Amino acid sequence: MTKIPRGDKSYIGKTVTVTVDRPIGTHHPKHREIVYPINYGYVEGLLGGDGEEQDVYILGVDKPVDKAECVIIATVMRTDDNEDKWVGVPSELVGTELCCECNIVNAVHFQEQFHTSEIFALYEKTCGAVMYTGSGDDRRYFLIKNNSGHIGFPKGHIEYGENERETALREVFEECGLEAELDEDFRAEYTFHTLDNTEKTSVFFAGRFDRDAAVKIQQEEVIGDWLLSYGEAMNKLNWEQDKAILKACEEYLNSKQN
């Protein structure tokens, strides 16, 4: 038997065989009011923090099964319990919307609602907007600096039930208090790997705002903001991916004027 330490992330991205002991539609053995909406089982030969075999939530299999080959896409790290839970999907579903953190949170809520936990997911998605005001030579772009030192555009994690547009509007308003007029004909994205080796996709629309609008910065997350010309904004941005997004947005807005 191999013991899995609490907080271990080494199995993220690996394929395991899950033996299902609580298939879809069955009741929790101790709490009969809980009915499993997804398959739930364990990995033979791997021990979790509670000394029992490692538990796995299975997403993307919509009928009861006895066993399932799954790629582990997330760890549910409980802070009020002695074990973590894993989340797995069939290999053909890896990287789909099902693997986004918001969808994982919703899928496991039926049981995790009774615990305090943090989810470490292999795939993350954020949405935001390249915020601008004015046009032509008078166009100015709004940039923010977050606690990590990243200077870029307002954005944040997509929440369950939201589409990309709704997330962008909400995050822009939460981070800087601005009502964005989104132009969805401009949509650009980039994907990168974090230091934790998660894959994060950031999606941006063009977002126009009134220059006289009052900016209300979210003090907990934003530590700086600027309203800059295109050239100044290009010099201020500290990620090449964001510079490419800004360049594409500038070209798009200019093309609309011609």
Q: Write the pLDDT tens digit of every residue in 102-116.
A: 999 999 999 999 999
Residues 225, 141: Cα–Cα separation, whole Å? 10
pLDDT of residue 227: 96
User: Which residue from 204, 206, 224 is spatially nearest to 215, judged by alpha carbons?
Assistant: 224
Q: Mean of the pLDDT values across residues 138-149?
A: 94
Q: Where in the chain is the domain with CATH 3.90.80.10?
A: 2-121
pLDDT of residue 26: 95
Here the tokens at position 44 are 């033979």
* Whether the predicted pLDDT of 97 surpasses 90: no
* pLDDT band, residue 1 (cuts 50/70/90): confident
Residues 104, 109: Cα–Cα separation, whole Å? 8
Q: Which CATH class is domain 2-121?
A: alpha beta
Q: Mean of the pLDDT values across residues 150-158?
A: 95
The Cβ of residue 51 has, within 10 Å, a number of other Cβ atoms equal to: 10
How many CA within 13 A on the CB side of residue 181? 8
pLDDT of residue 250: 97
Question: Which residue do the tokens 């690996």 mark?
Answer: 14
H or E, element range at 124: strand 123-133
pLDDT of residue 82: 87
pLDDT of residue 32: 86
- Give domain 124-257's CATH architecture: Alpha-Beta Complex (3.90)
Residues 80, 74: Cα–Cα separation, whole Å? 18
* Whether the predicted pLDDT of 6 surpasses 90: no
Q: Is 243 helix (H, G, I), strand (E, B) or coil?
A: helix
pLDDT of residue 12: 92
Q: Mean of the pLDDT values across residues 196-217?
A: 91
Residues 167, 159: Cα–Cα separation, whole Å? 7
Work out whether the CA dihedral 185, 160, 157, 228 comes out positive or negative. Answer: positive
pLDDT of residue 169: 97
Q: Where in the chain is the domain with CATH 3.90.79.10?
A: 124-257
* Whether the predicted pLDDT of 163 surpasses 90: yes
Which is higher by pLDDT, 7 or 21? 21
* Whether the predicted pLDDT of 189 surpasses 80: yes
Lowest mean pLDDT among 7-11, 64-68, 144-148, 181-185: 7-11
